[in-house]
Chain A
Amino acid sequence: MTEPLAPDTVAAEPSATGRRIGVYVCHCGGNISDYVDVEKVISDIGDAGDVVVAKTAMFACSDATQQDMVADIQAQGLDGLVVASCSPKLHTYTFRAVAVRAGLNPYEYSQVNIREQCSWVHTDDREAATAKATALVNAGISRTRLTTPLEPMVVETLPHTLVIGGGVAGLRAAVGLADIGLRVTLVERELQLGGWVGGFGTMYPHGRDGRELIETLVAEVRKRPAITVLTGAEVVGKAGSFGNYLVSVRIGGEGSAALEVAVGSIVVATGFESYQPEIGELGYGIEGVVTLPDFKAMVDASAGGAGPLAWHGRRVRSLAYVYCVGSRQLADAPDANQYCSRFCCAATVQTSVQVAGLDPAIRQFHLYRDMRTYGKFEPLYTESRKAGSVFLKFAPEAPPEIRREDGGGLTVTVHDLLTENAELAIPVDLVVLVTGMIPRANQELVDVLKLPAGSDGFFNEIHPKLRPVETVVDGVLIAGACQGPKTSAESVASGLAAVTQSAAVLKKGYTELDPLVAIVDPIACTACADCLTACPYDAISMTEGADGHAAVISPTGCKGCGGCVPICSENAIDLLGYTDAQVSAMIESLAAVPA
């Protein structure tokens, strides 16, 4: 697909700058070339005699163009590569790999974004878009003139993972990690393992008790000597970097001594909390209005032989469930939980089937907004209706009203959308508020691990589809409902996905880190320590060398964010790959007035 529209210009040896650079400008099949005159970009390149190859390509990322680049690099002896196409987020690794295949150091390559940052946003002015693309390409060439070969840092990784949280996701992850030959330390804040599922009775679809399920998992954990379990324990500190974290775990609460654990990766599986309604919210606080977890405990106790379903000694003969409490809140409410908690529709219809099994005479009313018994849970909904449950649909802006009558009973008033919005007043013995999941309050852990949380308060993955368990902190993975509402099966799947991600790094025994990190010139450094607070990753420290005190930046701790560079009043810090000299040269190219 390569179209050498402009004749290849072969510069006389040696070039003025001593470099031999290849430039490729991409059409992106029209995404770029419909709005930017790519041929003009090639002809307007600010060539200092060192641009040895300049070509356009229909798709720079295509196999054919990649092979062409490799051939050019080798035949022309290129020592610098500039690709002007899309965002570096898409193809940085593609073109670094091209360089490597051609025997060129991958850090001698610069990506120039003329699609997202040019053609797509300047669809109305071809001439100006072309001038801007040319300036961007010239800036890329200026940066490339000053590149130096860099080598990735190879860091050995410890074959040991810390799992935080001993619920169903954490337990399954621990077993999975041990089974692929990694050592595991499992930290649980409570004195007992099991989390929420450990307190559940019968679960769908196998009819097994949550308690039983957890007992089985805990037995599997105990069978594996590679797993160390620490209960009543909390993570209070983290040092080191990816592959070699040193984590402090405090056992036995405030003031107790901390234990140090050296691990290669960390799986966070800290779970969720159940939404606690405000007093007055849908009648909460009124005698006989309970939450779903409270009610499930009552049903499990009754099923376990504690006698008929009763509330404060009185038989429950009728009840109403109010769905979406604390979930799917309307956006105008302050700090609204706008998400759906996923598990609660299924959990509630399953509970109603259990109740019907205890006593088919109990009348059950479900006041819902939308039924979301998705996937394999749908048969439960049918079963619940067959067992006699009545479903009434209310509008989000007209929630049911709950009050206690003078005579003693509860009355639930609702406008049912399914019967022409008729107002129904239902007398019941008990009201169950179907409460959703909320993120667990865990500020200390968030601070220690620097975990990113979304606007809903749950931890954030890098990408929900492509990298669903990885976080922006290398080697720190998230699993289960700490990431967002999940059913127990979904939590287990994400726990195992975190096992796979841990294995991908730790089983190799080493990892390669980008060498694009900040470095300090110890001669220029005056040890003012201003940079220490600028680093969000705690990668900078002070040491005493032969020439006195100076800052040192841990190359494995540094993420190359550049935050410390402008802080330094002595200009003693430089960022490899984006040095002051390179950035200045790029700015000059961008600011140059076209001839």
Chain B
Amino acid sequence: VTQRLIIADDSADMRWLVRSTLQPEFRDVIEIADGRQLFACLLRATLAAGPRSPDDLVLVVDVRMPVYSGLEVLDAWHDAEHPIPIVVITSFPDDAVRTEVERLGAVLLPKPFSRATLQRVVGDVARRARS
């Protein structure tokens, strides 16, 4: 277990649910409540990783968050050369969200999802990033 999980969602209970479902599969779980924090967190992780980009991160990101939306932050950090494994969770997956998620090379997981689905989808994304 070497990867770290970042959960960005403005609902504390949602973060708790994701954390309690995925914790065993990650070295560390970081909870984030809004877009600005997510941005700062990604910035810190990048600086800490030095010249290479951080390759041990897996993101579970909500779309609707205060300050910046999840998609806005992901767009700002998008790097086609070194894609970060991302699962975007949202309760309103309209066409605009789908297109944007696809463009960012992320995976869309509409709410409500079962814990088993969450485990499977995040597990797939994390495994693909490792290999």
User: Do A and B come together as binding partners?
Assistant: no
